[in-house]
Structure 1
Amino acid sequence: MLFFGIAAGLPLLLIFSSLSLWLREAGVERAAVTYFSWAALGYSFKFVWAPLVDVIPLPLLTRTLGRRRAWLLLAQLMVVLAIILMALIDPASQGLTLMALAAVLLGFSSATQDVVIDAYRIESAGEEYQALMSATYIAGYRIGMLLAGAGALFLASSFGSTLEVYDFTAWQMAYFSMAGLMLIGIVTTLIVDEPVVNQQRAAQPAWDYAGLFVTFLVAVSGFIASFALSSELASQLKTVLSDVVHNHYLAAIMVEMLRFSVALLVAVMLGRFCMRFEWVNQELISRSYIEPIQDFFRRYGWSLAWLLLALVGLYRISDIVLGVIANVFYQDMGFTKPQIATVVKSFGLFMTILGGFLGGILAVRFGVMRILFLGALMSAVTNLLFMMLAGMGNDLTMLYVVISADNLSAGLASAAFIAFLSSLTNISFTAVQYAIFSSLMTLLPKMLGGYSGSMVEAMGYEWFFLLTALIGLPVLLLILFAAKRFNLSQS
């Protein structure tokens, strides 16, 4: 699980912070840089294809490696391919479209790897070992993030690329190195055993799997087509709504949320239409998509279930929206890549781990919901320290203070939040339900984070950081409401 954690943590920062610095050095505007955070929306939509990964076997690979290891190897090879493609594209001369496509492929492949690793972790050991498995996986995940964050920045800097003198070859070699590090995960996949539960799992007829896959493709095609066809109408709606609310960014967010909802409705309707045909196994679709959702609402009831889902979807909104533009902010303040790598990535990693241990201990002592509240409060308050840093400018001591507080609170909040998510999951539907919760956790924050560059351009860093602190306050109310009605023991 340590090695799987490293493989899972590597791709994330190659889409976020490391890529954002690369694009800035290549002369890409700040607003366009933060739009690239949407390339990681695959993490927020992985619940859509998680049931396919859960039930559909891969030709040849599944027979040779087993269900989980087959999908894991495929996902890891796709991650390597996506990183190599990104390394071959120079954003300064070849444009951003190809880089965006490669980044989307990396986000999709990495999210798929996460789905399989989560399922493998749950199925490969008994309940008494799950806490140890999760802790080891998280430690490996942080190491992978350190390698892709600090490691990639150190490599690019040592190879000669700076904000003043951009060198594509330096970043290319850094990303090639990251692709090579994925061998850690690939070799682990080839060595470990398939979980016993999958060795004993009965297979469905191939026709049933084909019907499920075709239904999925039809629904996804409808979702994509709805987005593509509504682009012009969405632009007109943004213009009209901007005049009404007198806020271009708020109007854009509202229109995009409406656009997403309509596209999702189209996908659901097409899926239900396909289910009317006899070539779709109704029982397989029900077991894959419907039963995990029905189980959640049946256990908690409609009102409490929606309250819990709102809490899951909004809990990390404050730190994720800020995190999208954080590296660009450090660079704009005049900090060098080695300084960012040392303070933000290396020192910040240890503060996050310390916060995680602290959060775990406090959660056991005082209860998960209380520490969940404390983590949300600290995440909002520490964003105000970024306001102070923005006013002070290039102050290395203050940067250490900001990173200490921010990463400590993030680690504490994450420890409590993971325990909270685990408590919501039914062991009968662990893989799919956990994918749904972890996807929902980042969906809205990442959509808002894509506009962070534009918001900074319009209001400046100090007002932006104040805004990220304020949007975290409603989460505190949700936790208080949930704590009165939700008892961890009842799950």
Structure 2
Amino acid sequence: MQNLTLRKKYMQATLSKLLATLAIYSQRRVITMLFLGFSAGLPFMLIFSSLSFWLREAGIDRASITLLSLTGLAFAFKFLWSPLVDKLAIPTLGKICGQRRSWLLLSQFTILSCFLLMALQDPLTNSEDTLKLMALLAVIAAFSAATQDIVIDAYRIEMAEPELQGAMAAMYIGGYRVAIITGGAGALWLATWFSGDQTGYQLTAWQSTYFVMGSLMLVGVLTTLLMPEPKRLISQATLDMEHKGAAVIAKNFPEHHIISRLVTFIYVGIVCPIWDFIKRYRWQAVVILLLIGSYRIADIVMGVIANVFYVDMGFTKSEVATISKVYGVIMTLVGAALGGFITKYIGVIKVLFIGAFMSAITNLLFAALAHIGHDTTFLIFTISLDNLSSGLAQVAFIAYLSSLTNVSYSATQYALFSSLMLLFPKLIGGGSGWIVNQIGYSHFFIFTAILGIPVLVLIIIAGRVIPPKNSNDQQVDSKNSLPIP
């Protein structure tokens, strides 16, 4: 009887803990990330996917269309202007809305304007001038979308304590995935609907589609207007580092005001964020940077050649689209939600390990698929598990990166971390076709799974790294932080 009572109390305590963990998804700041994720994902598809479809239907040559993909470099090099987002205040708007919200509104209104202007264009009329204008609008939209990403990452870090970062990341990924479907398949469906019974290229259908899709950026604008500005508290040590360095610079360039301002900008915006990270983690920073640079290596390297693999295995476009867009997206959302939940429950390091382990194991399923061949059932199973592990790993990794940043440099440091995350895997992924030609698909996927083993070792080592007393000790208002001159 006593054992039964103890068991009942244990179950009640466990249930209460689970419900308390799930309750984090009902918090306003967590829900906010769902809509900001949608605002971040929508321009990505409208720039890099749907726009290509529109231009090709209009008869624009492939070479001109593929050149537009270079606008994606804005996302790869966003760390270059992230110091501006951290330190530069937007005149007037910054005073009204605050540092983060003003940058968000500026980037969102710019993206909205670009898509509405695209909706007024006709690629077939004065095609050369029109294409140049559409390319320029795409570049501006991509630059603004990358800026929006910088601000959203910084906002997420500053709005919630580390325990909530998993849930915040899960909501962000959920909103982002919904936007990917909306801006991709949704835009194609809408263009078809606007075409009615008419076949072939319909200019007004695409113009109406981009007008509607561009207007959906108002979701992000409205969210930004309704959400609070984060209160940025930074450490006195950080302030001392900035002001002492700036004083030395001013002393050495007393008569060169422009040079002094430029050097101060480089010191405050670039040197301080990097030195702050090294100073806090010392030699352990090497382990952390190695983990950041290699964590997503197994799935990113495999993902580069995934579509080529599907074609070679005889899968049709409709099969791949249906399986990846339906089962894949659903399982990514499930993985993200699961990742946010268990990150709160068992901690980010353990979830990092689980995500990395699952990513490596699912690559072995692709190796098995290479032997099996065209089998839609096994493809559904493989893609489902692969996307489940991807969603879980993304949430854990975002939460981990967020925990490493100093709130005084959240935009800059997170942008640097996220860029480093993609650099090494993308370099290896660029040679994945050559590797497959040498060893075949099965051995290639086994190779990508093996790449995940050092990552597991790094996670174990990183888990033993004792986080320093963060930059938030002896906190003061960030208004005392040295602005970029």
TM-score, normalised to structure 2, is 0.68
Cα distance in 2 for partners of 1:168, 1:116 equals 35
Q: Give the superposed CA RMSD.
A: 4.5
Aligned-pair distance for 1:61? 2.3
Aligned-pair distance for 1:383? 4.0
Q: How many residues align?
A: 410
2:44 corresponding residue in structure 1: 12
- Structure 2 stretches of 5 or more lacking a match? 1-31, 234-245, 247-252, 469-485
1:83-482 → structure 2 map (5 Å cutoff):
83-84=115-116, 88=121, 90=123, 101-124=136-159, 130=165, 132-158=167-193, 171-197=206-232, 278-280=259-261, 282-302=263-283, 304-323=284-303, 335-336=316-317, 342-360=322-340, 363=343, 368-383=348-363, 385-386=365-366, 396-446=376-426, 455=433, 463=440, 467=444, 470-471=447-448, 473-482=450-459
2:467 corresponding residue in structure 1: 490
Cα distance in 2 for partners of 1:153, 1:472 equals 35
Cα distance in 1 for partners of 2:156, 2:98 equals 15
Q: Classify 1:467/1:18 alpha carbon distance in 2 versus 1 (closer, same or farther; 3 Å).
A: farther
After TM superposition, the structure 1 stretch with the greater mean CA deviation from structure 2, 376-385 or 3-12, is: 376-385
Q: Classify 1:300/1:279 alpha carbon distance in 2 versus 1 (closer, same or farther; 3 Å).
A: closer
2:109 corresponding residue in structure 1: 77
Report Cα offsets for 1:46-100 as digits up to 9, x if no partner.
2211110122122332233332222111111222244446664759976987766
Partner AA of 1:296 in structure 2 = F
Report Cα offsets for 1:136-161 as digits up to 9, x if no partner.
33332232223223322433454569
Aligned-pair distance for 1:384? 5.2
1:67 corresponding residue in structure 2: 99
Cα distance in 1 for partners of 2:201, 2:300 equals 28
**Residues 355 and 410, structure 1, Cα contact 8 Å, conserved in 2:** yes
Aligned-pair distance for 1:350? 1.9
**Which secondary structure state, in structure 2, belongs to the residue aligned with residue 139 of structure 1?**
helix
Q: Which has the larger radius of gyration?
A: 2
Cα distance in 1 for partners of 2:131, 2:367 equals 31
Cα distance in 2 for partners of 1:91, 1:145 equals 27
**Which secondary structure state, in structure 2, belongs to the residue aligned with residue 420 of structure 1?**
helix
Report Cα offsets for 1:212-253 as digits up to 9, x if no partner.
xxxxxxxxxxxxxxxxxxxxxxxxxxxxxxxxxxxxxxxxxx
Cα distance in 2 for partners of 1:168, 1:466 equals 47
Q: Classify 1:469/1:72 alpha carbon distance in 2 versus 1 (closer, same or farther; 3 Å).
A: farther
TM-score, normalised to structure 1, is 0.67
**Residues 75 and 142, structure 2, Cα contact 8 Å, conserved in 1:** yes
1:2-81 → structure 2 map (5 Å cutoff):
2-16=34-48, 18=50, 38-81=70-113
After TM superposition, the structure 1 stretch with the greater mean CA deviation from structure 2, 67-76 or 90-99, is: 90-99
2:26 corresponding residue in structure 1: none
Cα distance in 1 for partners of 2:360, 2:429 equals 15
Cα distance in 1 for partners of 2:264, 2:288 equals 28
After TM superposition, the structure 1 stretch with the greater mean CA deviation from structure 2, 460-469 or 381-390, is: 460-469
Q: Classify 1:382/1:157 alpha carbon distance in 2 versus 1 (closer, same or farther; 3 Å).
A: farther
Partner AA of 1:67 in structure 2 = Q
Report Cα offsets for 1:168-206 as digits up to 9, x if no partner.
6655544433212111111222333433449xxxxxxxx
**Residues 423 and 488, structure 1, Cα contact 8 Å, conserved in 2:** no
Aligned-pair distance for 1:294? 0.7
- Structure 1 stretches of 5 or more lacking a match? 199-210, 212-271
Cα distance in 1 for partners of 2:352, 2:162 equals 23
Cα distance in 2 for partners of 1:421, 1:44 equals 17
Q: Classify 1:305/1:135 alpha carbon distance in 2 versus 1 (closer, same or farther; 3 Å).
A: same
**Residues 38 and 450, structure 1, Cα contact 8 Å, conserved in 2:** no
Partner AA of 1:77 in structure 2 = F
Aligned-pair distance for 1:366? 6.3
After TM superposition, the structure 1 stretch with the greater mean CA deviation from structure 2, 42-51 or 367-376, is: 367-376
1:267 corresponding residue in structure 2: none
1:241 corresponding residue in structure 2: none
Q: Classify 1:22/1:483 alpha carbon distance in 2 versus 1 (closer, same or farther; 3 Å).
A: farther
Partner AA of 1:186 in structure 2 = V
Q: Classify 1:119/1:103 alpha carbon distance in 2 versus 1 (closer, same or farther; 3 Å).
A: same
**Residues 86 and 409, structure 2, Cα contact 8 Å, conserved in 1:** no
Q: Classify 1:280/1:140 alpha carbon distance in 2 versus 1 (closer, same or farther; 3 Å).
A: same
